[in-house]
Structure 1
Amino acid sequence: MKFGIFFELSVPQPLARGAETKSYQDALEQCRLADELGFTTAWAVEHHFLQEYSHCSAPEVFLTAAAMTTERIRVGHGGVVCVPQINHPIRVAERAAVLDIVSGGRLDVGTARASTITELGGFLADPDSTKISWDEYVHVLPRLWTEERTAYEGTTFSFPERPVVPKPVQDPHPPLWVTVTSPGTERDAADRGIGCLGVAAASFKEQEARTADYRKRIQQCEPVGAVVNDQVATMNYLFCHEDDAVASRVGGAMFTGFGLLNSHLLWAREVYPTPAYRSLGNLAAGSVAQIRHDDPGEQRPIPDGIAIGSPDQIIKAIGIWESIGVDAINFLLNTTDLVPQEQVLESMRMFAAEVMPHFAKETR
């Protein structure tokens, strides 16, 4: 089992001067500590126009800063938006290659289609074409990284033959992933031989079904790249504290706060109904929003599988994720500054000291 960290770079509203700077500085400090503690990857999303939820619109810059102040931890796009109006594929290939070079070959490239009409509409991009463009990107990116000269004639973009430079350090090229929110995307990943990067929390049952389907299908894949990346990663939340009550109170605020921000985005999908995007509650089955209580003032329990609690509790949860075939868990550490930075860092230290050793054979 590998453990990573995952950044949305959310910033509390109303936006105060220096709040974005603090969010970025805190995240970079978390990256440095994660590197020291043995976490494997630091992932950063790409979002645009999503005030409060995510101010991470230039992840390649953030990831470069993270790479420059760390030694071992990998840096990952979680993932770069594969829409021509937002990121031309040649520019994606170029930026990724440079980041792979300056990081010493520590880059993972996750791909995505963007989440809402808020983002796509801001660039006048057509939501109905994003699945087509994503498919074209994942086929052409490995070519741009490995071929001396490349030309492409496609449906959503085309370009004449050119030598795209520089080339990545990793041979043959950085691992490719696709971000997974709704069921079915894991099949797209498997069929193309790329990693399954879960970016929405899923229940044990749902993740087990997705993982089994992925494992079966990838055996017959037609790889888009020169190497198959057959890993399954899922997103989770982390707050580790020796006192379960403290962990539930502090980590629970972060968990429910992020869920609230995330739920606001769901309605943005309804503005432009399209079969290219499923209408879904982007929340795990069994989430706090679905748990009923007779007393509205009662503190709601943390759902099963969420890594918020004492080390023993978290070990049990991770053991189940491991048993259903998940290769890696990427943790959201904070949202809108709901957890003080020193408590975030202390949680990371306790997790590394008391939880990671139980899975040490799979951590590095």
Structure 2
Amino acid sequence: MSQDNATDASGSLTDSVSRRRFLVANGTAATAALAGCLGGDDGDDGGDTTDGAETVRVGYGEYETTINTGDLPDELFIYAVQTGWSNWDAVMDAFEEEYGVSLFDDQRTSGEALTNIRTNHPNHEYGAYNGAYSVGLEAWDEGFTTDYKPKGYESVPDEFKTDDGHVTATRQMTVAINYRKDIYEERGLDEPETWEDLKQPEIAQDLAINVPGAGSGLNAMLSINHAYGGDLDNLDPLFEYFEDIAEHGAEHRRNLDQQFTAGEISTYAEYDFGGLSTKYNSDDIPEEDVGVVIPKGPDGGEGATQVPYGYAMLQDPPNEDAAKLFMDFVLSPDVQELFFDGFVRPIRASEDSVEAPDEFPAAEQYGDAAFGIDQAKLLDKQQGIIEEILERSPLPGVEA
């Protein structure tokens, strides 16, 4: 099954993520309860027309306009909006329940979406791109997108949206340390809080970090580098850190979840959604044996990069009004909460109106440790960074 991941070779990024079991059991009821109350916190400003259809105010600032729901299509095509990933299932169901428009189940990756856009532009049936924010920036840079600022645009952090309204983030994943609580207890280890904690020989002996070609692996390494004072132009702190953990047995590995649940590794760096999904959805390991923490730097500072996903309106889109309505819908507080059920933090997670479930690490962990990377700059430098890691990493398995 495809997901809206950043790269086709992204390892754990391409693993399907299921929603919390209680949501699977009660998804229909949850969607029905959600329908009819969407957009209230941001103000819907809808009204009735003479033909029985409704008018809905959409857009932010100069993009604010009125659309008539009687003109909406039966089906809407948005790239990489798909079942089985990030709880899009519930979002798709809620949108159809609210407006009578079904979403095509587009089982493709972000990279596949961009390839399709390139191939079919300007003749396409898709109204918008959805997926990895960095890939959205590529589409923007290549001239395939147009400007639209959805309702809620002002609530998106500046580093996760373009000023011209072409690309806007809707959700984010954050680098986390996932660890076996049972193994740590057996070894007499305290639960880790910082990257420095992982240098202990009893932890580093079976510590794993994904390869740089995987999205989670690359962003874990950029997190370590940032925590120790590096930046996109200076990776020396990362390699100094790797030298310290390599002597105790740390490695680059793939398929980390399987090795983790089998007890072959006790600790690995991954996105928060990966560890949380393993903790609450896996049949291979007890929930209480899995710990997930957002790591700080050695001095208690930032240590976990946030990786945004989002959308962009395409040039001359078919069913433009429906695409705008959907983009507004996804940023509304009630719908933002649905992403939490796929173990993905919504982009408006810091707002009081968007309530995080208890399964997530405490909000304070994200506030203290998380940071953003300039995605446009990263896009320009990413290939060179990967090549440098492949050449300089002292950890075994870097080219696996």
TM-score norm. by structure 2 comes to 0.29
Determine which structure has more spread, i.e. the larger CA radius of gyration.
Answer: 2
TM-score, normalised to structure 1's length? 0.31
**Structure with larger RCO (C-alpha < 8 A, sep 6+):** 2
